[in-house]
């Protein structure tokens, strides 16, 4: 996945087009490098799965 594709997925989460997005272990570092640079970073919740995979969701209020 490239930077633009990741931004598109994150925008879809933010806009409610999708409710969650599954990130494989292999894509995690690329995905994380994009998400931490976003202004709304605290609104994203990553739920760890077995095997190093993560499911991301967008929260209405930022996490602490």
63 lies in some domain: no
42 lies in some domain: yes
18 lies in some domain: yes
44 lies in some domain: yes
64 lies in some domain: no
**Helices and strands in the chain, H and E counts:** 2, 3
Confidence of residue 64 (pLDDT cuts 50, 70, 90): confident
- Give the separation between CA 52 and CA 38, rounded to whole angstroms: 22
39 lies in some domain: yes
Instruction: Decide which of 64 and 53 is more confident.
Output: 53
* Residue pLDDT, tens place only, 14-50: 999 999 999 999 999 999 999 999 999 999 999 999 9
Helix (H) or strand (E) segment spanning residue 45: strand 44-48
* Residues of the domain holding 34: 3-58
Total domain count for the chain? 1
43 lies in some domain: yes
């Amino acid at each position: 996945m490239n930077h633009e594709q990741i931004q598109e997925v994150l925008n879809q989460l933010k806009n409610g087009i999708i409710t969650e997005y599954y990130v494989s272990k292999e894509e995690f570092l690329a995905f994380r490098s994009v998400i931490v640079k976003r202004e709304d970073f605290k609104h994203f919740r990553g739920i760890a799965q077995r095997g190093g995979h993560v499911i991301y969701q967008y929260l209405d209020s930022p996490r602490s």
